[in-house]
Structure 1
Amino acid sequence: MPLSFSLRHDAPDALDTPLLAIILPSEPTLPETLAALDAQFNGAIARTIARRDFRGGKDETLLLVGGERGVQRLLLVGRGSAPLTRTTARRAAAIAARQAGKLGTGAMYLYLPGADPASIEGLVIGAAAGSWSYPDLQTQPPEKDRRARLASVTMLADDTAANRAALEVGIATSEGQNIAKRLGQMPGNYCTPESFVEVGQDIALRHGMQITVLGRREMADLQMGSFLCVAQGTTQEPRLVALEHKGGPADQQPVVLIGKGLCFDTGGISIKPAPEMEWMKFDMMGAAGVMGAMEAIGRLKLPINVVGIIGSTTNMPSGEAVKPGDVVRASNGKTIEIINTDAEGRLVLADLLVFAKRFNPAIAIDAATLTGAIVIGLGGNAVGVFSTDKAAADEVLAAGVAAGEPGWPMPMWDEYKEQIKSDVADMKNTGGRAAGSITAALFLQEFVDGFPFVHLDVAGTAYSQSDLGWIPKGPTGTPVGTFVEFVRVRAQQ
């Protein structure tokens, strides 16, 4: 059952709820709006703050237990000393939702003193993120041992038009992230290229979008030798899926979002080491992010034209797999010497970028778990942002900050191109370990023709191999928020 959200303008002491989560800043004082509730708890909230048992630190929680009626449990959640933003509200709400899940309350009220529309968006997105799970393949415990999943969240805030609009944005974004995270968490034998076709068809049907699906034969007709060489080693049908949201004028150039969808990446003939290879089921998070963004854009009915394009296959070793030293030809005629078959995502994206030109993009933004080098450089805290167009890069960077998916601009100097020069083809598919994420971006730039382009390397941010506290290990939902925020701002211009 999907998580439901609502707004309610009411006093905290007037509630009858199994759980009220109150989000407070670092070194809090008791807000006047909580005085009556504190009296119901016999002054426990004020004493807790005065004794500094709760100091409002980031991710700090403290649970107070009430009576059989009214507020039965009170959870204090700290948001730290950072200014109140959508991002800080999101994190605190996620912490609250995770605690609600552990308690098994089923329902929760959220109160953030001073909440504005931006922070309400964050509360919704955070609560959805904190309560998200993928139990589909797990045997559930006996009924008597189960804890109720969080099913409803009510924000204590004024029921104004601005707050209602913020609620809808938060719901749309979180539903998009849920799609992306579900695709990511599915094992490679469950999430296949056909899964992207099914999800795309569902999104298109519900939101009135046009969908185009290409398979191996259609891509061969378009001479997509770069994409298809990655799919040589698998019997699964590779898929290119394009979704068109036509919310703007017919002659408006669309924003084009592009995603890498490697449902599993063994590395091919240049096979990866066995330890932790299971994490390579997440090599399709760029494509999942595009699908999630199109869901959110469709839900919001944004008045702008947007095209979402994903390319999906698996990278497998076999007797038919592409080999190091092979030369393939992309759909724009450029030839590529394959140096390392594990540098496969850029080969898929190359033909997607050529395909995108038919839509006459106002801008194209791709997202891909493209390189380990970006993880070494930026860790799991920032998206690598690459573009030769500073204005376009700055616009994407601003969207990422607003969405809580911050990026960092990386250089794309011509000097790095020397590393991908080939003796037998127009270019090599990798320039070696040095500056690996930069040479990958420069490789992609070779397939862009006549439109602004920004590349997002989300290898360090689209999923996490450890519990982050506010969300568990696994898919994070990045880059759905960045895509949606970018398109929202463009739609308002």
Structure 2
Amino acid sequence: MPLSFSLSHAAPAAVDTPLLVVVLSPASAVPDALLDLDRQLGGAMSRSVSRRDFRGGRDETLLLVGGDAGVQRVLLVGRGAAPLTRTVARRAAAVAARQASKLGVAAMHLMLDGGDADANAVEGLVIGAAAGSWSYLDLQTPPPEKDRRARLEAVTVLAADSEEIRAAFAAGVAVAEGQAIAKRLGQMPGNYCTPDTFVEVGRDIAERHGMALTVLGRAEMTARGMGSFLCVAQGTSQEPRLVTLEHRGGPEGQQPVVLIGKGLCFDTGGISIKPAPEMEWMKFDMSGAGGVMGAMEAIGRLRLPINVVGIIGSTTNMPSGEAVKPGDVVRASNGKTIEIINTDAEGRLVLADLLVYAKQFNPAIAIDAATLTGAIVIGLGHNAVGVFSTDQGAANEVLAAGQAAGEPGWGMPMWEDYREQIKSDVADMKNTGGRAAGSITAALFLQEFVDGFPFVHLDVAGTAYSQSDLGWIPKGPTGTPVGTFVEFVRTRARQ
């Protein structure tokens, strides 16, 4: 059952809930708004704080047991001493939701400090609660009845009653639902998430939110001369798909924001095959496309007054007798020729034709997201998105959006000197410039297919999924870059 959210303005001592979560900073006393509840608990909260049993450190938790009715349990969750932001609130709420799942409670109430959370924090609470409670159980056999715990199904946020708070709450729900779509697509095994899955999800989003949907297959892409995209799909019998969603929330003729996602449902590397260990994680090579789908869901829910186009290109990269080979030369839809040096540098080949395709929409800006290079993981680890653009103003906008959304990025250079690495002896360019500066040369390759509009490339290879438990969320998909996309579009819509 999907998680449901509600907003309440009730006093914490007056709610009837199996679990009340209170997110606290490292304060020396219980906030006044919680004193009535503290008396109901026999002073347990104030004693815990005064004895320093609970210190409010980041991710710290303390469970207090109440009575059979009213507030049955209180979970104190520390948010640390950092200033309260959407990201800080999100993390604390995610920790709370994970604890609620371990307790086996079906519902929880959630509040910040004395209940005076601002709009940003309320949005973060909703997104975090959804992130911490998310799981993918579609393919698992349920445990025996006696071993089952109730799943968290309902979250009520306690906050002040204002138009700003209600809008932030709705935004949090929209982003959470978008991230849920991106995460589910990411977690699905490659034999379940196929290019046609993106068609199905795109159709659902289009029907729910009144968007225009366009789907191209192999024949249509061949007619458009998309030899760069199609060479990646040579080795698979599955039909490649180019899916476009159009949100027409702005005035007619307004240049749209175009969001582009790489959708490799599984990446073996092709003829340049990857090593076997951990290759199963390559089901996440569609995370950019999942992020676009999730963002379009959130944008549709928010009914943002701006035109937005989402474009994804999906296929699988497989070795076969028909697969593209190192040394082959292919022609993209803008006429440029590409020498294939490494068939495992396939994402940029898909994105090349998507960027040419995007020009027909006359973009105000195009932003792509892709799990594009292992080099970005070496450079930035798992903490930052690589942000690339020759337009510093556009890059700064995207960086600000990522920071606000809790998906921080780091600007990378795109100096002309690096372009020498992708020069070819037999074609206009090579699809890889080697190991040195690999994420930079990949971005410069993409720039070759941009014509007449600002462009920002997001390399999310280190941030779209995690191979270890992060504490506040489990291993697996993180939901990045949904937050960045939505925040960028929201900001543009306000201008």
Please give the range of the TM-score, normalised by the shorter of the 2 chains: over 0.9
Give the whole-Å Cα distance in 1 for the aligned partners of 2:216 and 2:28: 57
Aligned residues: 493
Give the whole-Å Cα distance in 2 for the aligned partners of 1:185 and 1:90: 21
**Helix, strand or coil for the counterpart of 1:455?**
strand
Which of the numbers 119, 125, 128 marks the counterpart of 1:126?
128
Deviation of 1:162 (Å): 1.1
Matching of residue 38 in structure 1 with residue 41 in structure 2: no
Give the whole-Å Cα distance in 2 for the aligned partners of 1:155 and 1:291: 27
Q: Spell out, residue by residue over 1:322-365, the C-alpha distance to the aligned partner (whole angstroms, 9 max, x if none).
A: 00000000000000000000000000000000000000000000
Give the whole-Å Cα distance in 2 for the aligned partners of 1:175 and 1:108: 19
Q: Spell out, residue by residue over 1:62-96, the C-alpha distance to the aligned partner (whole angstroms, 9 max, x if none).
A: 10111111211110000011100100000000000
**Helix, strand or coil for the counterpart of 1:258?**
strand
Q: Match for residue 78 of structure 1?
A: 78
Q: Match for residue 294 of structure 1?
A: 296
Give the whole-Å Cα distance in 1 for the aligned partners of 2:158 and 2:190: 41
**Helix, strand or coil for the counterpart of 2:417?**
helix
Q: Match for residue 328 of structure 2?
A: 326
**Helix, strand or coil for the counterpart of 1:150?**
coil
Q: Does the 8 A contact of 1:118 with 1:166 survive in 2? A: yes
Give the whole-Å Cα distance in 2 for the aligned partners of 1:66 and 1:52: 20
Divergent runs of 4+, >4 A: none
Larger deviation, residues 378-387 vs 156-165: 156-165
Matching of residue 69 in structure 1 with residue 80 in structure 2: no
Q: Match for residue 11 of structure 1?
A: 11
Q: Does the 8 A contact of 1:412 with 1:438 survive in 2? A: yes
Deviation of 1:456 (Å): 0.1
Larger deviation, residues 3-12 vs 421-430: 3-12
Matching of residue 143 in structure 1 with residue 145 in structure 2: yes
Q: Quick one: which amino acid aligns to residue 55 of structure 1?
A: R
Deviation of 1:26 (Å): 2.4
Q: Structure 2: which 5+ runs fail to align?
A: none
Q: Match for residue 225 of structure 1?
A: 227
- Identical residues among aligned pairs (%): 81
Deviation of 1:28 (Å): 4.4
Q: Does the 8 A contact of 2:182 with 2:293 survive in 1? A: yes
**Helix, strand or coil for the counterpart of 2:7?**
strand
**Helix, strand or coil for the counterpart of 2:67?**
coil
What pairs up with 1:434-449 in 2 under 5 angstroms? Answer: 434-449=436-451
**Helix, strand or coil for the counterpart of 1:77?**
strand
**Helix, strand or coil for the counterpart of 2:89?**
helix
Q: Match for residue 174 of structure 1?
A: 176
Larger deviation, residues 85-94 vs 26-35: 26-35
Deviation of 1:159 (Å): 2.3
**Helix, strand or coil for the counterpart of 1:441?**
helix
Q: Match for residue 50 of structure 1?
A: 50
Give the whole-Å Cα distance in 2 for the aligned partners of 1:369 and 1:150: 31
Give the whole-Å Cα distance in 1 for the aligned partners of 2:423 and 2:26: 54
Q: Quick one: which amino acid aligns to residue 279 of structure 1?
A: W
Give the whole-Å Cα distance in 2 for the aligned partners of 1:28 and 1:148: 35
Provide TM-score, normalisation by structure 2.
Answer: 0.99
Larger deviation, residues 322-331 vs 137-146: 137-146
Q: Match for residue 198 of structure 1?
A: 200
Q: Does the 8 A contact of 2:28 with 2:50 survive in 1? A: no
Give the whole-Å Cα distance in 2 for the aligned partners of 1:166 and 1:2: 20
Deviation of 1:111 (Å): 1.1
Larger deviation, residues 261-270 vs 160-169: 160-169
What pairs up with 1:295-374 in 2 under 5 angstroms? Answer: 295-374=297-376
Matching of residue 92 in structure 1 with residue 105 in structure 2: no
**Structure 2 CA distance for partners of 1:179 and 1:28, relative to 1, 3 Å:** farther
Deviation of 1:452 (Å): 0.1
What pairs up with 1:158-307 in 2 under 5 angstroms? Answer: 158-307=160-309
Which of the numbers 377, 383, 395 marks the counterpart of 1:375?
377
Deviation of 1:27 (Å): 4.2
**Helix, strand or coil for the counterpart of 1:105?**
coil
Q: Does the 8 A contact of 1:226 with 1:350 survive in 2? A: yes
Q: Match for residue 417 of structure 1?
A: 419
Deviation of 1:143 (Å): 2.1
Q: Spell out, residue by residue over 1:6-64, the C-alpha distance to the aligned partner (whole angstroms, 9 max, x if none).
A: 11112211122100000001244210111111111111111111111111111110101
Matching of residue 112 in structure 1 with residue 106 in structure 2: no
Give the whole-Å Cα distance in 2 for the aligned partners of 1:254 and 1:11: 44
Q: Does the 8 A contact of 2:117 with 2:160 survive in 1? A: no
Q: Spell out, residue by residue over 1:265-286, the C-alpha distance to the aligned partner (whole angstroms, 9 max, x if none).
A: 0000000000000000000000
Q: Quick one: which amino acid aligns to residue 112 of structure 2?
A: L
Give the whole-Å Cα distance in 1 for the aligned partners of 2:170 and 2:70: 28
Provide TM-score, normalisation by structure 1.
Answer: 0.99
Q: Does the 8 A contact of 1:7 with 1:158 survive in 2? A: no
